[in-house]
Amino acid sequence: MNEQNRFGEHDHEPLEADDLLARAIGEWRDETPARDLWPGVAARLDTAGVRRPRQIAFTLPQLAMAASLLIAVASGLTWLAARPAAPAGDGQEVVLAESEPAGLVQGDVQNANFADAQFDAAVTDLERILREDRDRLDPRTVLVIERNLQAIDDAIREARMALNDDPANTYLNSHLADARRRKLELLRHVTTLASAGGD
């Protein structure tokens, strides 16, 4: 028994590569397709040169990021369009005070427009009323009020210092006006509460 038989191959001599190739081609030539395949191949070749429109697909995180960006841009544009124009003149924003809070006598407190002299006079009046009626408030409430007033005073002082360096800065002017408005609102609320007996 020769070496090839041990692996289950035929007993005849191995075919040379050329003989094997010729045999395979001969078997292939004997098989003809049932129909002509060329029209299908030609159609595919014709459409291979035509570009199909590119399909763009986004993942869910990409869509969420795009939506967030769109919202941020729209919000920024809305803010820019809706904010009031910068005040003319010395850069101080003039805002008229709202109506007097209930419980205060009309002559006790001056209306303020956030110009320095009027604002300071209104704050002085409100602080005087608060000192007079302070004992009507709970000591813990007084402590919280003093802390809040100190924080607002710090914000006003810092905004004024920054405005010394950049007086035309609309953000700083707006921040100063807002801090002053908050101080007046807090003082008005507290004096109303104290005048009512701390209820």
89 lies in some domain: no
In whole angstroms, what is the distance from residue 126 CA to residue 122 CA?
6
Cβ neighbours for 17, distance < 8 A, ≥ 6 positions apart: none
Lowest mean pLDDT among 65-74, 80-89, 128-137: 80-89
In whole angstroms, what is the distance from residue 111 CA to residue 118 CA?
8
pLDDT in tens, 14-34: 667 777 777 777 666 656 767
pLDDT in tens, 135-166: 888 888 888 888 888 888 888 888 888 888 88
- Which two tokens mark 32? 């003809």
pLDDT in tens, 92-124: 444 444 444 444 444 444 444 455 778 788 888
Angle at 151 between CA 149 and CA 157, to 5 degrees: 100
**Residue pair 177/95 in contact by the 8 Å Cβ criterion:** yes
Q: What is the pLDDT at residue 168?
A: 86
62 lies in some domain: no
Cite the beta strand spans of the chain per DSSP E: none
User: How many folded domains does the chain comprise?
Assistant: 1
Range of the domain at 159: 116-195
65 lies in some domain: no
**Residue pair 135/194 in contact by the 8 Å Cβ criterion:** no
184 lies in some domain: yes
175 lies in some domain: yes
- Which two tokens mark 82? 């809706």
Q: What is the pLDDT at residue 14?
A: 62
Mean pLDDT of all residues in the chain? 73
Distances (CA, A) of 32 to 20, 37, 38, 187: 20, 10, 13, 102
In whole angstroms, what is the distance from residue 108 CA to residue 14 CA?
122
Q: What is the pLDDT at residue 29?
A: 61
Residue 38 identity? W
Q: What is the pLDDT at residue 24?
A: 72
139 lies in some domain: yes
